[in-house]
Each structure stands twice: as structure tokens, then as C-alpha cells.
Amino acid sequence: MTDRYAVIGNPIGHSKSPLIHAAFALATGQDIEYTAIEGPLDGFKATVEAFIAAGGRGMNVTIPFKLQAFEIATDPMESARLAGAVNALKFEGGRIFAQNFDGLGLVNDIQRNLGVSLAGKRVLICGAGGATRGAILPIAAQKPALIAIANRSADKAHGLKRDFAAHATLQTGGYEELAGERFDVVLNATSTGLTQADLPLAASAFAPGALAYELVYGKGLTPFLKQAQAAGVQHIADGVGMLVEQAAEAFEWWRGVRPDTQPVIARFTVPLV
């Protein structure tokens, strides 16, 4: 019988996950069905339970259910526990295993696909929401010289410093506190790529040869990427590789087979113009 998987979110019509997993399944010869489910806002748990009852083996979880997915997990893995959020579930023997592969997907994209090693680098993450939470540990594991987190509401960034104190040393604050500092890798993990708002980020924040990485994907040149270009940054990227890499992690976790991400990233890349 064909094994069933799905992505659950609300809204879900925009999701590329079914196409990405179909491409992985075809390339690796795995017999799976992967659909998109629009979960009712007040019915996440019931929808997941119905999917399990119908033979579902695993799910990806997207906005707005990443926190609820953590709550229903019987076995949250470390990536999910520290992020407090989940983007992949595996159903086995009545248990619900949970992972958060977003951060690992980000790091794999930066290091493997973009060829930028994080070791010894000064890394700035703009934003202190769910994506940043998921990214801290995978980035810290690469031993950068510094992880700084700047957020519009500085208190939220300071909260991350406290939450992750046992696992990573973070420099946190508002954007104005970055005056005079330069970073080799600047990540935009705010939602400004979607809202088209500018970040209060000084041009001097980008060190010579810096990578500017926008986590939002498929939006072309976002205000953040335009700011980076105006500051002379030549190496820019958006989050399409992160999306495909986190999907590859989930696929391997479920199926035990690692898909080749390159052709899938190429297929979904929108030019940064």
C-alpha cells in the first residue's frame, strides 16, 4: 500500500511541499502519496488524528500550526524542544515523533549550496520569531565567532538569549545597538520579505564579501536584498534552498533515503531581480 504523507497549514494553497516531495519520491523510487491539507484553525489536533487513523505516516507542519504540533508530540526531538515549534511529524506505533528541520535546512543551504562556511564567521540574524528560534542551534553547531540577534522589539531578542543560554552564546538587542558592527553573514528572518517593509539596518553591517540571505523565498529582490545590494553586497540569496533542504531532511527521516536537492532547488528558484 502506498504510504501517505501530507503538509498541514492554513492557508495551504501556496505550499510547494507536495511538488517538492513528489519530485523526491520520483527521483528516489519511493512509493508515497503526499497531499496538502488545509487544517481548520480550531481543529488541528482532530485533523492530524484523522490522518493517522487513515494510515498517515508523517506530516509537515506550517503556519499557523507549528506550536500546536509541538503540543501534540509524544516524542519531540531536541530540534523541536529547543525551538518550541515543529515542522515535521512522524507517526509510528501510536507515537508522534516531532522535529524542526527549518534551521538545519537553512544551514545546509548556506554551507553546501552557497559554499559559505559559518565556522569562525560573525553571523547576524534579523528577527526573533519562530524561524530564528529554529536556526540558533544549527548555526551554533557550526562554531561561528559570533551570533548576534537584532529585533524590532529588543526584549524578544533578549528572551532568546535567556532561553538558549545553556546551548549558545548570543548577542542580542535592537538594531540601533549594532552601530559600527560588521557581519560576514546577515540573515533576514523577519517577515519583511512578505510585507515589503525596510529594516533599520545600516549599510555598514555588511562586512566586505558578506552573504545576505533572505529567508522568504520566491519574492525576487526584497527590500532587505535591495538594501544589501545598495551596501555593495554581491552574494545574495533567498530561502528557496532552505525550503528544499528542510524538505530533504524530513524525506530522509521518513524514508531513510537522501534525495538530491539540486535539481529541485533549480526548479523552484525565482530570479532575484
CB atoms within 10 A of CB 52: 17
Residue of 196, 198, 150, 203 lying closest to 177 (CA atoms): 150
Residue of 138, 164, 128, 141 lying closest to 249 (CA atoms): 138
In this chain, which of 239, 250, 251, 264 binds ligand NDP, going by CB under 6 A? 239
CB of 55 to ligand NDP, least distance (A): 27
Scan for cell 524578544, then name that residue. 156
246 near ligand NDP, rule: CB under 6 A: yes
11 preceded by a cis bond (ω within 30 of 0) = yes
In this chain, which of 127, 138, 223, 259 binds ligand NDP, going by CB under 6 A? 127
Q: Per CB under 6 A, which of residues 182..201 are in contact with ligand NDP?
A: 189-194, 197, 199
The three cell numbers of residue 178 are 549594532
The answer to the question of whether 239 is labelled as a binding residue is yes
| Residue span binding ligand NDP (CB under 6 A) among the ranges 12-20, 21-29, 40-48, 241-249 | 241-249
Q: Per CB under 6 A, which of residues 61..120 are in contact with ligand NDP?
A: 102
Instruction: Check: CB of residue 125 under 8 Å from CB of residue 132.
Output: yes
Q: x-or-dash pattern for ligand NDP, window 132-151, by CB under 6 A?
A: x------------------x
Tell me which of 45, 66, 143, 219 is the catalytic residue: 66
121 is catalytic: no
Q: Give the sign of the dihedral formed by CA 255, CA 260, CA 261, CA 265.
A: negative
The answer to the question of whether 16 is labelled as a binding residue is yes
243 near ligand NDP, rule: CB under 6 A: yes
CB atoms within 10 A of CB 14: 9
Angle between the N-to-C axes of helices 240-255 and 17-28, in degrees from 0 to 180, rounded to the nearest 10: 50
CB of 198 to ligand NDP, least distance (A): 8
CA distance 132 to 189: 6
User: Amino acid identity, residue 144?
Assistant: P
Scan for cell 540569496, then name that residue. 237
The answer to the question of whether 58 is labelled as a binding residue is no
In this chain, which of 39, 56, 130, 223 binds ligand NDP, going by CB under 6 A? 130
The answer to the question of whether 131 is labelled as a binding residue is yes
The answer to the question of whether 231 is labelled as a binding residue is no
The answer to the question of whether 127 is labelled as a binding residue is yes
Residues annotated as catalytic (active site), given as ranges: 66
Residue ranges of the binding site = 15-17, 62, 78, 87, 102, 127-131, 215, 217, 239, 246
Catalog residues that contact ligand NDP under the rule CB under 6 A.
Answer: 102, 127-132, 151-153, 156, 189-194, 197, 199, 215-217, 239, 242-243, 246
